[in-house]
């Protein structure tokens, strides 16, 4: 009887250890899945951002040259475009910085908990 209890306890301990190892492996796999999903999402968004930045660069150059031609001096067009971006950056910082930070944080959290 005592030997039977010992065998049952050993078997229970063995199954508990197996369960712990399986749970740890599952947690690792879930972490890898979430990490790879988040990284691939960030990479895809980065590609779109790079394309948009290139678009804005060439658009800004075109507008700067066009305004410079209208004003008679090319550098005046670049000054106006730079002023526009400066005012836009200040307005975004003052009015929308907290909102943008909150949205980015929420998006990252949703991505990790998905």
**In the chain, at which residue ranges do the beta strands (DSSP E only) sit?**
none
Q: What is the pLDDT of residues 64-107, one digit of tens each?
A: 999 999 999 999 999 999 999 999 999 988 888 788 888 888 88
CB under 8 Å to 1, separation ≥6 — which residues?
none
Q: In the chain, where are the structural domains located? A: 2-113
The predicted structure's pLDDT at residue 24:
93
Instruction: For residue 81, give both structure tokens.
Output: 């475009």
Plot region of 72 (φ>0 → left; ψ -120 to 50 → alpha; else → beta): left
> Using an 8 Å Cβ cutoff, are 67 and 60 in contact?
no
pLDDT above 70: residue 2: no
The predicted structure's pLDDT at residue 35:
85
The predicted structure's pLDDT at residue 63:
96
Q: Please give the average per-residue pLDDT across 23-43, as a whole number.
A: 88
Q: Which of 105, 57, 112, 104 is nearest to 85 (CA)?
A: 57
Q: Please give the average per-residue pLDDT across 42-71, as a whole number.
A: 94
Whole-number Å distance between alpha carbons of 52 and 46: 10
The predicted structure's pLDDT at residue 68:
95
Q: Three-state DSSP class for 27?
A: helix
What rounded mean pLDDT belongs to the chain? 89
pLDDT tier for residue 1 given thresholds of 50, 70 and 90: low
């Amino acid at each position: 009887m005592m030997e039977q209890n010992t065998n049952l306890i050993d078997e229970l301990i063995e199954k508990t250890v197996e369960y712990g190892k399986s749970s740890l492996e599952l947690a690792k796999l879930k972490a890898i899945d979430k990490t790879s999903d988040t990284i691939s999402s960030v990479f895809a968004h980065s590609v779109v951002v790079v394309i948009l930045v290139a678009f804005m660069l060439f658009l800004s150059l075109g507008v700067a040259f066009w305004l410079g031609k209208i004003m008679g001096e090319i550098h005046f067009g670049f000054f106006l475009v730079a002023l526009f971006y400066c005012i836009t950056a200040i307005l975004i910082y003052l009015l929308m910085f907290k909102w943008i930070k909150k949205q980015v944080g929420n998006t990252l959290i949703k991505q990790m908990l998905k």
